[in-house]
Amino acid sequence: MSIMTYIIHAFILDTFGASEGLPTPLYIRGEVKMGEIPNFTIKRGECCLMPTGGMLPEGADSVLMVEYSQVLEDGMVEITRPVSPLENVIQSDDDLKKGQVILKKGSLLRPQDLGVLAGLGIIEVDVFTRPKAAIISTGEEVVYIEQTPKPGQIRDINSYTIGALCNSLGAQPIYLGIIRDKFDDLKALIEKGLHKSDVVLLSGGSSVGVKDLTLDVFKSFKNTKILAHGVSISPGKPTIIARRGNKTLWGLPGHPSSAMIIFDVFLRYLLGKLSGLSNLDKFGGRFLEAEIDRNIDSVSGRDDYIRVKCSRIGERWVATPILGKSGLISTMVEADGVIKIDMNTEGIYKGENIRVMLF
């Protein structure tokens, strides 16, 4: 006789008072095969063998794990513990009921949601179109990553970090390459981005300088409104935000870590909205409550975002600031996340509880 995961019993009276010292004998009526409908009925004093997930035969009302039984000769089994009605049994309406709303409009489809749809035999559902983000790197100093930078040059980091952030949020990045600081060329590429995408993301070209043309190019488009030229955030102050119809244009800082901060603060929620999400709080990243391990000074009047490394010490999490210039790419890899120091404060003290926005 094959070993099964569970044994089914007919009525609670059959196992009342059963124990190892005083087991209850039952007759094994048969065996349930996985995926088949039982062709027999369980009566008082009977049971049957079945695998986990098998269908209960008529007359059965509970399931007992096989380790609480001992198979005897002549088709009998001893039960060594009592069983409650419907124990280890899932009824047809226990999980999902007819007419029940399973997924609301605006829900982000997670692996478990896809599993529920598959279990219900739902092959297709209506979804929002993935928002598209055109990505452009600007600057005379930026070269493609396959190239060896000359003195004063830097490889194009931002296209890859920003593109990966877009992908992680369900947006589709469209890489338009590197453009030099020439007005007509930059405008033509932005025009292409507006045609192909919902959001145009430029990195570099937003600081004060003779060749920093982003603002002028944005202004040159008809029916375009400049929403912000500089934000009260560090790092990331030289950020430009514009709107043209239902599309937005972003001039992000050239420093990779600064561009990532601006993306997390602003673009995470924008892309969530464009994706049709109804609960943007669930789209706002992952957070960790921790204790800061040193004093950090801040300048009032701006929100400071400080990169930190998190460590588990006993029962608490401790955040250690990673101090360094915003342009250092090594600090991006070393950090686990960032903390925000509000513009209305002048810093935080060692031992304060803070909220870490994890990368």
Residues 6+ apart with CB under 8 A from 274: 131, 171, 198, 199
**Residue 279, pLDDT score:** 72
Q: Does one domain contain both 232 and 299?
A: no
* Residue 205 clears pLDDT 80, i.e. is over it: no
Mean pLDDT calculated for residue range 260-269: 91
For residues 268 and 300, membership in a common domain is answered with no
Q: Is the domain of 178 the same as that of 195?
A: yes
Q: In this model, does residue 289 exceed pLDDT 50?
A: yes
pLDDT at 282 over 70: no
Contacts of residue 83, defined as CB under 8 A and 6 or more positions apart, other chains included, come to 9, 12, 15, 62, 63, 64
Q: Which residues pair with 233 in a beta bridge?
A: 303
* Domain ranges, residue 172: 132-282
| Confidence (pLDDT) at 3 | 39
Evaluated on CA atoms 159, 160, 164, 167, the torsion sign reads positive
pLDDT at position 194 is: 97
pLDDT band at 325 (very low <50, low <70, confident <90, very high): low
Quick check: is 264 in a domain? yes
Q: Give 291-323 pLDDT, tens digit per residue.
A: 999 999 988 899 999 999 999 999 999 999 997
Q: Tell me: do 199 and 239 sit in the same domain.
A: yes
Interval 145-202: pLDDT, tens: 999 999 989 999 999 999 999 998 889 999 999 998 889 999 999 999 999 999 999 9
CATH number, residue 327:
2.40.340.10
CATH number of the domain where residue 44 is located? 2.170.190.11
**Is residue 271 a part of any domain in this protein?**
yes
The pTM assigned to this predicted structure is: 0.75
**Does the pLDDT value for residue 340 go beyond 60?**
yes
Is 122 inside a domain boundary?
no
Q: How many domains does the chain have?
A: 3
Instruction: Report the pLDDT value the prediction gives residue 207, as an integer from 0 to 100.
Output: 52
Same domain membership, residue 204 and residue 190: yes
148 shares its domain with 170: yes
The DSSP result for 6-63, as a single string, is: EEEES-GGGTTT--SSSPEEEEEEEEPPTTS---SB--TTEEEEE-TTPPPPBT--EE
The DSSP letter of residue 194 is H
Residues forming a β-bridge with 313: 316
Q: Domain for residue 92, yes or no?
A: no
Domain end point (choices 282, 307, 327): 282
Q: What are the C-alpha distances in Å from 304 to residues 8, 212, 267, 317?
A: 63, 25, 18, 21
Same domain for 140 and 229, yes or no, is yes
Does residue 174 belong to any structural domain of this protein? yes
- Pair 23, 148 in one domain: no
Last residue of a domain, one of 282, 312, 344: 282
Q: How many beta carbons lie within 10 A of that of residue 324, not counting itself?
A: 13
In tens, the pLDDT along 115-132 reads 999 989 999 999 999 999
Q: In 237-315, which ranges are continuous DSSP H helix?
A: 256-262, 268-274
Please tell me the number of Cα atoms within 13 Å of 36 on its side-chain side.
9
What pLDDT shows up at residue 13?
A: 52
Query: In this predicted structure, what is the pLDDT of residue 9?
Result: 46
Q: What is the pLDDT, as a whole number, of residue 10? A: 43
- 98, part of any domain: no
Kindly indicate the confidence band of residue 355, based on its pLDDT and cuts at 50, 70 and 90: very high
Q: What is the CATH number of the domain that holds 198?
A: 3.40.980.10
* 19 vs 248, more confident: 248
Identify the pLDDT of residue 6.
Answer: 45
Q: Do 172 and 266 lie in a common domain?
A: yes
Is 134 in contact with 191 (CB distance < 8 Å)? no
Q: Is residue 155 part of a domain?
A: yes
In a domain, 124, yes or no: no
Q: What is the mean pLDDT of the chain?
A: 87
pLDDT value at residue 168: 86
Q: Say if residue 65 is in the same domain as residue 18.
A: yes
Structural domain ending residue among the three candidates 244, 264, 282: 282
pLDDT at res. 4: 47
146 and 274 belong to one structural domain? yes
pLDDT digits (tens, 9 = 90+) for 12-71: 456 677 777 788 888 888 888 888 999 999 888 888 888 888 888 988 888 888 888 888
Q: What share of the chain is helix, strand, coil (3-state, %, to 5)?
A: 20, 30, 50
Domain shared by 137 and 275, yes or no: yes
